[in-house]
Amino acid sequence: MQQILQKPWVREHAKPIVVLLILMFGLIRPFIVDAYRIPSGSMEDTLLIGDRILVCKFIYGVKIPGTDIKVFDLHQPARGDVFVFIPSHDDRHFIKRIVAIEGDTVYTEGKMLYVNGQAVDDSAYTKHLMFNNYRRNFPPFRQPEYIPDDDSYKDYTLTDSQFRRKFPEGKPFVVPKGMVFAMGDNRDLSSDSRFWGPVAVDDIKGQAFMVVFSVDNRPTKLWEVWKMVQNIRFNRIGKLIRSEPDSFKEN
């Protein structure tokens, strides 16, 4: 190795190569693409625990630091997109699907999701547990302590009994400006906007578009490396993560 590094052509090109790598991984990578590992089953079966995914970070635009100006905003957050974000009540990255955008009216009845009064045909990519302990209908939100202190939410911070007395038939939620409503594809095992409210567009980190690696578990001991190799899900490598805009009918 030392002999190779001493060759004239290596010494001549080493500096520009190093500079290029620094630019790629230090400047370009934070704005273009990033990788995330799926830690929970909230997006099953679209995404599985152990999937390593790529996220396009610039597709919704890149905000110029210190300003409200966005550049390269090629695509507005849309119904059906699978996206990564950091919610206002947490400092971790979450991944969910956008089911409603600003101005949309959203509610559920049993297993059925309604957006702007239209049933969403999401059976191809969502799943429900046969038995679960959660009350599926919303609002009110299940964790109202995370709901902003704003007139848009005042009716949804009531207790369950207060809400049922005031709105016996329920009350659809209108997504405020600058927000999207997020839900996991594994509907009965997902902490999402039904719990803690909508997601600010400014908190979105990017759109997920591909599974680049997937393994059932991660080894904790040296002798478990072979077990990890056996558990690689080769059929998921390169799998595209689809948006599902056709599920949402326009009025």
Strand partners, 38: none
Residues 213, 233: Cα–Cα separation, whole Å: 8
Question: Alpha carbon of 199 to those of 54, 59, 166, 248: distances in Å?
Answer: 21, 17, 26, 19
Q: Tell me, yes or no, if 123 is annotated catalytic.
A: no
Residues 67, 195: Cα–Cα separation, whole Å: 31
Which residue of the set 7, 40, 42, 63 is catalytic? 42
Residues 240, 44: Cα–Cα separation, whole Å: 15
Start-end of H helices in the chain: 2-5, 8-23, 29-32, 160-166, 193-196, 225-230
Which of 181, 174, 116 shows the shortest CA–CA distance to 150? 174
Residues 103, 116: Cα–Cα separation, whole Å: 9
Which residue of the set 57, 96, 205, 247 is catalytic? 96
Q: Tell me, yes or no, if 42 is annotated catalytic.
A: yes
Sign of the alpha-carbon torsion through 12, 17, 23, 26: negative
SS3 label, residue 71: strand
Residues 231, 226: Cα–Cα separation, whole Å: 9
Residues 181, 174: Cα–Cα separation, whole Å: 10
Task: State the catalytic residues.
Answer: 42, 96
